[in-house]
Amino acid sequence: MPIHSPQMYSVSMNELRKLFNHSMQTGMVMVDEDEKLLLVSDQLLKVSGYSADEITGVPCPQFFKMRATLRELYEFHFRDEADVGEWPHGFLLGKNGEMIYFQFSMLKLQCEDRSIYLLSLKNKEERTVLNLLQRFSDAFLKDINLGVLLIDMDYRLADISDRACQMLAMEKEHIRNKSLDEIFATVPSQHQLVQRTILNGAIVRNHAVSWTNNQERFDLLLDSNVLKDSQGNIVGAYIIFKDVTNMRSLEQMVQRSDRLAMIGQIAAGTAHEIRNPLTSIKGFLQMLRRTFGDRGMDKEQNFTDVMLGEIDRINALVNEFLMLSKPKHVAYERIGVTEVLRGIVPVIQNEAILYNVQLHYEASTHLPEVTADIELLKQVFLNVCKNGIEAMPDGGILTISERVDTIERNVCVDIHDTGTGIPMFVVDKIFDPFFTTKDTGTGLGLSVCQRIIHDMGGTIRVASKGFGTTFTITIPYM
């Protein structure tokens, strides 16, 4: 039944009594045209302290203090269907003398042979608290730096916070009120943030999960629980998740730095001791190889070739060891990342051709300059691009793109391949020294790259979810 209407509704007294009997949560009053009280809801009687016999038939102004007569209030506020704005207000005089402030809406009805007014009262304090809760709820979903999902009993997304939309790379208008099955249809079940069991009362606290939205990878701490009504019935559920990527990255960075520092100290102290005997061995093998060649001893010459190759591999490993310690003779200067990449694109292109890989380079105009060592930066880009190319043995596309993060003040280079991706259980280990998935890899390449970028004040992050891998290299600019 509408609140505002120019029409006169016709109802019976029995219908009105039924309405009052079922209005346990509402302060309702029925008054005749002479402003005498006909019916008062039980909830309002309880608040005022009166019994029905004490208040029925008594003039309304004796208990309800309002600024005008009911007829005047109806004509001014409720006769037309216009927006009345703030509801009229008044005071209810309780039996103990207490003045209870309330607001009300009004409806005029034709009841059998007479006209009556039906008032619906709302305690002002209750309304204020409700408005505050509504405002807090709206602000919470809009401004809070948390991912929040509200789910109804039909497993549909009732609402979502702005931060959650950013992390999921989804638009609120496109997903709200849709089934969670439809929203996460392209995500394998084991990677979905939401499971149907949440509506059965499954409670989660500080559950660590990883999420990749095709652009960024997030480490999240997730909480979930059900929402219940006043009778204890489940009416929905919520999920709250916090982005702890930076915190986890910092923790891993400290751990890796400790390991790299230890390895670097060992390498710096033993490198010369290793290189000296290797130099002697390599020199004698080269002499033997020449002698075998002069005498036509091809089989023996092949043996020396193998040994020389292994010695070169050991030398390369020692050089990477040395890079794990803080690089010496580093020349930091103001450079443009675009110029660095353009200088090594031909080298990357030649490598890509060998693997039947297409190279796409997306340069950005007017990138701010960064402070870095140009040769070390080249080494990082070449190493990451080489890894991406080798991840596509059957061919694919390697995309190098530049962009500026003006909020964090970083120059970012995204290197994306279309390979099979990196399994989630491996992603967190790829920067660890000696960890490699290659048959001939040393497991130090990415560790060295991370050390170089960290010394420049930047970061390397990786995102992979079964449809390729993206390495994001960020370097701060002033």
For residue 210, is pLDDT > 70? yes
In a domain, 451, yes or no: yes
Share of the chain above pLDDT 70, in %: 73
Sequence letter at residue 420:
T
Q: Which residue has the higher pLDDT, 320 or 67?
A: 67
Highest mean pLDDT (candidates 119-128, 377-386, 441-450): 377-386
Q: How many CB atoms are located within 10 Å of the residue 318 CB? A: 16
Residues 371 and 305 reside in one and the same domain: no
Question: What pLDDT does residue 274 have?
Answer: 75
Q: Are 399 and 431 contained in the same domain?
A: yes
| Residue in 67, 61, 16, 70 with CA at minimum distance from that of residue 40 | 16
Nearest CA to 326 out of 453, 474, 451 is that of: 451
Q: Are the C-beta atoms of residues 67 and 77 closer than 8 Å to each other?
A: no
Same domain? 91 vs 180:
no
pLDDT for 19 equals 64
Q: How many domains does the chain have?
A: 4
pLDDT at residue 84 in the model: 45
pTM for the full model? 0.43
pLDDT, averaged across the chain:
77
- Whether 262 and 194 map to the same domain: the answer is no
- State which of 324, 355, 374 marks the end of a domain: 324
Instruction: Please list the alpha-helical segments (H only) found in 70-201.
Output: 70-73, 124-143, 162-168, 172-175, 180-183
pLDDT of residue 82: 43
Is the pLDDT assigned to residue 428 strictly greater than 80? Answer: no
Q: Are residues 463 and 337 in the same domain?
A: yes
| Residue 4 domain-assigned (yes or no) | no
Question: Would you state the pLDDT for residue 280?
Answer: 79
In a domain, residue 139? The reply is no
For residue 132, tell me if it sits in a domain: no
Q: What is the pLDDT of residue 190?
A: 63
State the average pLDDT over residues 21-41. Answer: 76
Q: Which stretches does DSSP call E strand in 124-273? A: 147-152, 157-160, 204-212, 217-228, 234-243
What is the CATH number for 381? Answer: 3.30.565.10
Q: Does 235 lie in the same domain as 268?
A: no
**Whole-number pLDDT of residue 209:** 75
Residues 298 and 215 in one domain: no
Residues 343 and 283 grouped into a single domain: no
Q: How confident is the model at residue 1 (pLDDT cuts 50, 70, 90)?
A: very low
- How far is Cα 176 from Cα 165, in angstroms, rounded to an integer? 11
What Rg value do the Cα atoms of the chain yield, rounded? 37
Indicate if 346 and 469 belong to the same structural domain: yes
State the residue for tokens 């009997």: 21
Q: In this structure, are residues 47 and 94 in contact, taking their beta carbons and an 8 Å threshold?
A: yes
- Domain of 290? 248-324
Are 190 and 273 in the same domain?
no
**Per-residue model confidence as pLDDT tens digits over 312-361:** 878 777 766 666 555 556 778 999 999 999 999 988 998 899 899 999 99
Residue 109's region, left for phi above 0, alpha for psi from -120 to 50, else beta, is beta
Residue 471 has pLDDT above 80, yes or no: yes
Judged against a pLDDT cut of 70, whether residue 442 lies above it is answered with no
Asked if residue 354 and residue 438 are part of one domain, the reply reads: yes
Q: For residue 278, is it within any domain?
A: yes
Q: Is the pLDDT of residue 368 over 70?
A: yes
Residue 447 within a domain: yes
Last residue in a domain, options 243, 259, 286? 243
Q: What is the pLDDT of residue 370?
A: 93
Kindly report the CATH number assigned to the domain that includes residue 20: 3.30.450.20
Lowest-confidence segment of 10-19, 71-80, 99-108 by average pLDDT: 10-19
Last residue of a domain, one of 222, 243, 264: 243
Q: Let me know if residue 265 belongs to a domain.
A: yes
Residue that has been written with the tokens 């010459």 in this structure: 301
Tens-place pLDDT, residues 153-173? 888 888 888 888 888 888 888
pLDDT, tens digit, 9 for 90 and up, residues 107-155: 887 777 778 888 887 765 444 444 555 556 666 666 566 788 888 888 8
Could you give the residue ranges of the DSSP H alpha helices within 328-459? 337-354, 374-390, 424-427, 445-455
Summarize the confidence of residues 20-35 as an average pLDDT: 72
User: Are 424 and 347 part of one and the same domain?
Assistant: yes
Residue 309 counted as domain residue: yes
**When comparing pLDDT for 2 and 9, which is higher?**
9
